[in-house]
Structure 1
Amino acid sequence: MFKHELLKDYLAQFGGMTGSRARDKRVVYLDGYAGEGRYENGQPASAEIALSIAAHHHDHGLTMECFFAESEEKSYARLHDVVQHYRQRQVVAYDHHGEVDGVLNSVVRRAQHAPLFLFLDPCGLVLPQDRLVDVLARQRPRYQKWPPTELLMNFSMMAVWRLGGHVRSPKGSEKSLQRFDDVCGGTWWRDYFADAAASTHQEHAAQDAIEAVAAAYARRLEQRTGMLVQSVPVSHSPRKRAVYRLVFATRSQYGLWVFGNSVARARDEWWKTLDEREESSGQLALIPNRPDPEDVAAQAIPEIAANLEKLLARTRQPIKLVNYTLEIFGRFYGQVPEPAVREAVRLLHKQGKIPSNGAGARRIREITVHPGNLAA
């Protein structure tokens, strides 16, 4: 549900922002592990979420061409029916029965002059990193900011945990290890679990190794593609380790800002939905307290204000907020939506440290902050 809320919020904005600037008002979208398209209870899955967004854009003069790949036969049959339904509504959509790698190059060629968004959400392991780098840095050149290319990918922490067990065990499967070598673009990840096996607290060290591998994977993808990469943990509760990470890659500070905002909004909706379910079942008291969005914002605002103050002191010139997304949000990136930044700007103005409270900007990310009396 979190993943779908995020996709619904961000993909609609990506399509609208980039499609309106594209020369033929066209955006290309690929869901590489599309599943059934719609759940048996009638709720939309990732494919139908994208198709409904495409239908909305079509009604407003934009074309979002949707490509879906699914290898499992029964899932593909259901997916095909969903795609055909939206094709009858004039949505440009195609389904492929097979692995995503079999259609990836043709989709990239189709997007030669158009914005491209790749959504890769496998149940197990994702494409080899060399393959991703080929698409993101060679076929879509790393120096090319337009047309934009973005990636949202599920990096399974559970899969890393299982494969780490093969490293630690003398009976581990070398074939499985080599498959994950391909995913990671090398054998470097094995060292983390080898070190964990030598630890006196092996279970805890192995858990730490999973987190370290996920973080290193994102760093390496960023280095190899020249993109801005963020890895967002997704867990069943704030006190539990991540079940998977959503890896997001973009070349745009705008994309980075909007994605972080979408993550925060989707997370709030996710917690709210869980609370409602547990309250109706009488289990709420048994679940660890989840963060109240207002409490998180209250913690975030003064810290974001401090980040902004340091940034102004360093640059000594006016800054447009969207150009410094990670520096401004800091550790609260993806944790709080963008109104927290507006409140941080107002706080600095109230303290007499900047001359304006940011009023008048059409969007929060477009606010330009001028340095003032930073020593106040």
Structure 2
Amino acid sequence: MFKHDLLQRYLPQFGAMTGKQSHDQRVVYLDGYAGEGRYENGDPASGEIALRVASHLRSRTGLTLECFFSEQQQKSFQRLDDIVQQYRGRGVRAHAHRGEVDGVLDQVVESAAREPLFLFLDPCGLVLPQDRLVDVLARKRPYKRPATELLMNFSMMAVWRLGGHVRSPHGNERSLQRFDDVCGGTWWREHFADAVTARDKDSAAADAIEAVAEGYALRLAEHTGMLVQSVPVSHSPRKRAVYRLVFATRSPYGLWVFGDTVARARATWWETLEEREDDALFSVTSLTRPDPKAVEREAVPHIADNLAALLARLRRPVRLVDYPLEVFGDYYGQVTEPAARSAVRLLHEQGRTPSDGVGVKRTREIMVHPGRATA
């Protein structure tokens, strides 16, 4: 639910942000592990979500979102293809490929040679080898324009299972080598090797999983030259992540919009869980979900301090959207962009900037000037 809500919020914005970079008003999208496209209960899965976005963009803005879908399993592919054909009949440009995503990836990249490209990779297990991703992102798509972005599911549960192979004397070397390819080397094994000698092995293994996820994102950023942000997703704020969404872009603007979208999708996800528990004696979600207003109240002074530190370091005016990670800090993906406007106002009230954001329609476009305290 979280991933799909995030996708249906962000994909139209990607089209709006990058459509002008296209020479023929076309943006290319690939869902590399598309599944059936629609659930048996009739709800849209990732495939139909993208097709709906494409239909909406075509009718409302004239922008073509050309969709490519890849699915290996025959039964799932057949259902997916049926849905694709329905939308093709409505004028949506869409293609379904039977097989592994690696078999269609080059074709999609070639199709998007002069167009913005968005890659959505949501496997049930392991994703493509990192060398393959680097080949696409750093060698075939090395430029800022036309834009290239990636949203990928990095499964923490898969890392947990593979870490067990490292710790076991009977571990499956073939599985380990497969994950070596995904991670771009054997570096990840060292984290689990250390867990073998730890006093609390379960806690050490859990820490190793987090370290591997962080290391993966850092290496992807290093090898592609992209801005990479890894967002943890868990069943509750007090539990470890089940998976991480790895987002890669070359645009601070995209990074800003993605963080805002993550926060909004997270709020919707919690609300959906609460609705499902309405008939229960009490809501487990209400006991574990942080109050969004309380989180924002807590975040605003921290964001204000982040801004003050940024102004002091740069000694010049800054536009918020150019520094999403520096502005939001630990609250990136936790609060929506209005929190940044509140932080600017707080900074102004404290006399630390002459800027108050008044009159600027979009928060992300606010210019913040150094004050005496930060100059």
TM range (shorter): over 0.9
Structure 1 runs of 4+ with >6 Å offset = none
Quote the residue 1:239 is aligned against: 238
Distance 2:286 2:312 in 1: 44
Quote the residue 2:3 is aligned against: 3
Quote the residue 1:185 is aligned against: 184
CA contact (8 A) 1:20 1:62 kept: no
Quote the residue 2:53 is aligned against: 53
Distance 2:365 2:128 in 1: 36
Is 1:132 paired with 2:110?
Answer: no
Quote the residue 1:99 is aligned against: 100
Quote the residue 2:37 is aligned against: 37
Is 1:261 paired with 2:260?
Answer: yes
Quote the residue 1:296 is aligned against: 295
Residues paired across the two proteins, number: 374
Output one character per residue of 1:36-83: Cα deviation in whole Å (capped at 9) or x when no partner: 000011100001000000001111210110000000111101101110
Q: How many Å apart are 1:180 and its aligned residue? A: 0.5
SS at match of 2:40: coil
SS at match of 2:304: helix
Gaps of 5+ in 1: none
Distance 1:36 1:103 in 2: 17
Q: How many Å apart are 1:285 and its aligned residue? A: 4.7
Distance 2:322 2:247 in 1: 18
Output one character per residue of 1:83-141: Cα deviation in whole Å (capped at 9) or x when no partner: 01110110000000100000000100000000000000000000000000000000112
Quote the residue 2:171 is aligned against: 172
Is 1:108 paired with 2:78?
Answer: no
Q: How many Å apart are 1:287 and its aligned residue? A: 6.6
Q: How many Å apart are 1:310 and its aligned residue? A: 0.9
Q: How many Å apart are 1:280 and its aligned residue? A: 2.5
Distance 1:197 1:230 in 2: 29
* Residue identity in the other structure for 2:37: G
* Residue identity in the other structure for 1:84: Q
Q: How many Å apart are 1:374 and its aligned residue? A: 1.9
Distance 2:150 2:284 in 1: 38
Q: How many Å apart are 1:375 and its aligned residue? A: 6.4
TM (norm. structure 2) is 0.98
Change (3 A) 1:346 1:179: same
SS at match of 2:92: coil
SS at match of 1:216: helix
Is 1:314 paired with 2:313?
Answer: yes
Output one character per residue of 1:270-313: Cα deviation in whole Å (capped at 9) or x when no partner: 11111121122334158742111101000000000000011111
Compute the RMSD of aligned alpha carbons.
1.2
Q: Percent identity?
A: 68
Distance 1:286 1:310 in 2: 36
* Residue identity in the other structure for 1:77: Q
Distance 2:282 2:96 in 1: 41
Q: How many Å apart are 1:21 and its aligned residue? A: 3.6
Distance 2:282 2:251 in 1: 43
Quote the residue 2:281 is aligned against: 282
Distance 1:375 1:126 in 2: 45
Is 1:361 paired with 2:354?
Answer: no
SS at match of 1:191: helix
Quote the residue 1:69 is aligned against: 70
Quote the residue 1:272 is aligned against: 271
Q: How many Å apart are 1:356 and its aligned residue? A: 2.3
Distance 1:234 1:356 in 2: 35
Distance 1:56 1:282 in 2: 41
Q: How many Å apart are 1:195 and its aligned residue? A: 0.3
CA contact (8 A) 2:126 2:155 kept: yes
Output one character per residue of 1:238-267: Cα deviation in whole Å (capped at 9) or x when no partner: 111000000000000000000000000000
Distance 1:178 1:205 in 2: 22
Gaps of 5+ in 2: none
CA contact (8 A) 1:239 1:288 kept: no
TM (norm. structure 1) is 0.98
SS at match of 2:127: coil
Distance 1:246 1:154 in 2: 5
Q: How many Å apart are 1:351 and its aligned residue? A: 1.5
SS at match of 2:309: helix
Quote the residue 1:350 is aligned against: 349
Quote the residue 1:81 is aligned against: 82
Quote the residue 2:340 is aligned against: 341
CA contact (8 A) 1:189 1:213 kept: yes
Distance 2:107 2:178 in 1: 24
